[in-house]
Amino acid sequence: MTTTDTHCPYCSLQCGMRLRATDTGAAPVEVLERPEFPVNLGALCGKGRTAPAVLRPGVRLTGPLVRDAPGGELRPASWDEALDRTAAGLSAARDGHGRDAVGVFGGGGLTNEKAYLLGKFARVVLGTANIDYNGRFCMSSAAAAHRRAFGLDRGLPFPLADVARTGCVILVGANPAETMPPALRYFRELRENGGRLIVVDPRRTRTAELADLHLQPLPGGDLALALGLLHLVVADGHLDEDFIARRTTGFEAARAAAMAHWPERVERLTGVPAAQLAAAVEMFTGAPEGMVLTARGPEQHSKGTDTVGAWIDLCLATGRSGRPLSGYGCLTGQGNGQGGREHGQKADQLPGYRSIEDPAARAHVASVWGVDPERLPGPGLSAYELLDRLGRPDGVRALLVMGSNPVVSAPRAAHVTERLGALDFLAVADLVLSETARLADVVLPSAQWAEETGTLTNLEGRVILRRRAVDPPPGVRDDLAVLHGLAGRLGVPKGFPVDPEEVFEELRRASAGGPADYSGISYARIGAEDGVFWPCPEESHPGTPRMFLDRFATPDGRARFAAVAHRPAAEEPDADFPLFLTTGRVVGQYQSGAQTRRVEELAEAAPGPFVELHPALAGRLGVAEGQLLAVSSRRGRAVAPARVTDTIRPDTVFMPFHWGGEGRVNSVTNPALDPVSGMPEFKVCAVRVERAAATEAAR
């Protein structure tokens, strides 16, 4: 049987895999190893191995659904009826309340082609400013800090393989052992090669167990911690003054800010002993090269941009940036978290990572789209702001959601669910009947992954090609076909192709000359080279696996220090809510769990939510392993069994965020936003924990 070389549908590693069609009556394809792909070298986690299970008819949607009346049941419908009703719902809101009363909410798992065409659909067909996506909840603070410091955001400015060859890595708020297991090989190889690993995390995770040094700060303490390390770099004479003078600006202000964060003060703010701060600095500066890698831990905060900026400052001050085997990088989370934020589904952005407020950028993209630049709307609301105003007089009244499940994934999720219910009209395009799709007036079943072709951009900036291996079921359509059908019904019959390669060719033209320039990348070239790194401005260009070696992407070519200072989290413990809550993922599930919870093997490995707490806290509460706990904040409560472990701080509890229902931790989390990135503060809030009432335990 023939096989198809493609990529995993989950995280940003985009692991290479090979698919073979089957006729066994179970899943339509089976997964084989593809050892030649350079990122994972054939290795796959359980999610990748079991991915075909989601494509089974009993698991996924196989035809459109519509709701005849509010509160009524969803029923099967034809594609014509579903698209007609969607177009009518969007038109009614726009005609009755104005263009910005229509909104679009996208996803970080959409292919580049879908993300690009979704942004074009919002701005050209609907004319709305209100488009954003769930990537705002993932990498936006790191992206903002990256742009501020370097003039350009690419998650990793070097290939992942370089991690194994550097001298020291500070890994901040990341747990790749559970979130992207095939990447763990690079951290193991780092240590085998004589390099050192420092892990910063309030929990002693499986990743932290590999570390030479584990720093265990209070949730929300990462900014103070980074500033404390920079203070010691200055005080102990570890500055790379030549690098600072030649390749940076703004150091004096950053140094002054750092000097206000002496070790004893940072120990009080973070709980990390001053001796450990000194050991981390000696380890990092004692290696010839070094990297700082962050993930959602320091980023999902109301001060996330400043926090990442402080970690970047540490790299710049020590000359660990813009050089081989050194630099700052962000471990992007979602499958197309990088490409998804480059080509137009963010509220403030046009294709090629252009600013929507830049007149030249507007003129260029408008010329590719064949419209007057004046017709393009300006920036809209960021993701949570958009969701918060749904159904209000000044907000969106009709919403199209594509590839996202905010009922589970958004902060203050019960409130977001209420706002979705207040809409005049909601349409959801997805592979499965997610919690959000269950609220919709129209559900549009999407072809996914093995059933479609399209490009994605992994965490390294490597543009790869997922290839179609099998046809989708007869009642299922690709999202490009959905946008084509809606555009035609809304009066724009041209400009929305259904062929992904045709869309990509237009994306190449739209991105040309922009910060994320894909114009030299083609389907043929991706196939021949197993991925091409952007920027790649022409077909003769080799691509850019390592960035900033000669200059940074700022107007003067210099990196910019960020002069930032510690500030507390938006909400810290008090007498009523005395504990910290932090959230994260587990190895058996992915994001909102809409797909992975439907895979039997993964559901058995991670069957439901839990509350992780220290034995000392469990003793004070009088709770034993497995007993139900209620975790309450000022916004809501979540109920889940206790998991007692000494790997977490006694003042902190942890819950994974993959589940809805009573165990939905995002009922509790805080939507306080970073003022630069619009990132909500998922990673820390104040909670009260108590044994659940008997009535809850009986449910």
DSSP string, 213-242: EEE-PPTT-HHHHHHHHHHHHHHTT---HH
Do 353 and 501 have their domain in common? yes
DSSP 194-213: T-EEEEE-SB--TTGGG-SE
Structural domain contains residue 570: no
pLDDT in tens, 566-603: 999 999 999 999 999 999 999 999 999 999 999 999 99
Q: What is the pLDDT of residue 696?
A: 54
Structural domain contains residue 568: no
Do 271 and 319 have their domain in common? yes
Q: Is the pLDDT of residue 145 over 90?
A: yes
Structural domain contains residue 547: no
Sign of the CA dihedral running 135, 337, 668, 662: positive
Structural domain contains residue 85: yes
What is the rounded distance in angstroms from the CA atom of residue 192 to the CA atom of residue 512? 42
Q: Is the pLDDT of residue 528 over 80?
A: yes
CA 291 from centroid of its chain's CA atoms? 21
Which of 331, 356, 391 is where one domain is finished?
A: 331
Structural domain contains residue 378: yes
Q: Is the pLDDT of residue 442 over 70?
A: yes
DSSP assignment letter at 121: I
Cα–Cα distance list, 191 to 46, 165, 194, 195, 295 (Å): 25, 9, 5, 5, 20
Do 519 and 612 have their domain in common? no
Cα–Cα distance list, 528 to 139, 376, 457 (Å): 30, 37, 16
Do 444 and 302 have their domain in common? no
Q: What is the mean pLDDT of residues 37-62?
A: 95
CATH number reported for the structural domain that contains residue 37 in this entry? 2.20.25
What is the rounded distance in angstroms from the CA atom of residue 483 to the CA atom of residue 492? 11
pLDDT in tens, 540-561: 999 999 999 999 999 999 999 9
Percent of the chain whose predicted confidence (pLDDT) is above 90:
97
Question: 606, 588 in Cβ contact below 8 A?
Answer: yes
Using the CB atoms, write b or e for 264-287: b if 16+ within 10 Å.
ebbbebbbbebebbbebbebbbeb
What is the rounded distance in angstroms from the CA atom of residue 140 to the CA atom of residue 234? 29
Structural domain contains residue 185: yes
Q: What is the mean pLDDT of residues 86-98?
A: 98
CATH number reported for the structural domain that contains residue 217 in this entry? 3.40.228.10
Per the structure, the complete domain to which residue 186 belongs is given by: 156-331
Q: Is the pLDDT of residue 344 over 80?
A: yes
What is the rounded distance in angstroms from the CA atom of residue 596 to the CA atom of residue 294? 25
DSSP assignment letter at 593: -
Which of 331, 354, 376 is where one domain is finished?
A: 331
Q: What is the mean pLDDT of residues 421-445?
A: 98
Q: Is the pLDDT of residue 415 over 50?
A: yes
Q: What is the mean pLDDT of residues 425-446?
A: 98
Q: What is the pLDDT of residue 699?
A: 46
Sign of the CA dihedral running 398, 140, 266, 580: positive
Do 301 and 352 have their domain in common? no
Residue 646: other Cβ atoms inside 10 A:
10
Do 305 and 225 have their domain in common? yes
> Residue type for 455, please?
T
Looking at the 3D structure of the chain, how many domains does it have? 4
Do 467 and 591 have their domain in common? no
What is the rounded distance in angstroms from the CA atom of residue 627 to the CA atom of residue 637? 16
Q: What is the pLDDT of residue 139?
A: 87
Q: What is the pLDDT of residue 695?
A: 46
Structural domain contains residue 260: yes
Q: What is the pLDDT of residue 560?
A: 98
Q: Where residue 470 falls among pLDDT bands split at 50, 70, 90? A: very high
CATH number reported for the structural domain that contains residue 343 in this entry? 3.40.50.740
Q: Is the pLDDT of residue 698 over 90?
A: no
pTM of the model: 0.96
- The per-residue pLDDT of the chain, averaged, comes to 96
What is the rounded distance in angstroms from the CA atom of residue 457 to the CA atom of residue 662? 35
Do 377 and 462 have their domain in common? yes
Do 392 and 473 have their domain in common? yes
Q: Where residue 57 falls among pLDDT bands split at 50, 70, 90? A: confident
Do 290 and 204 have their domain in common? yes
Question: 474, 398 in Cβ contact below 8 A?
Answer: no
Residue 347 phi, psi (nearest 5): -65, -25
Strands 102-106 and 685-691: unpaired
Which of 496, 517, 533 is where one domain is finished?
A: 533
Do 685 and 669 have their domain in common? yes
CATH number reported for the structural domain that contains residue 588 in this entry? 2.40.40.20
Question: Nearest Cα to 180, choosing from 297, 339, 335?
Answer: 335
Structural domain contains residue 696: no
pLDDT in tens, 210-225: 999 999 999 999 999 9
Question: Nearest Cα to 499, choosing from 113, 62, 64, 123?
Answer: 113
Do 164 and 270 have their domain in common? yes
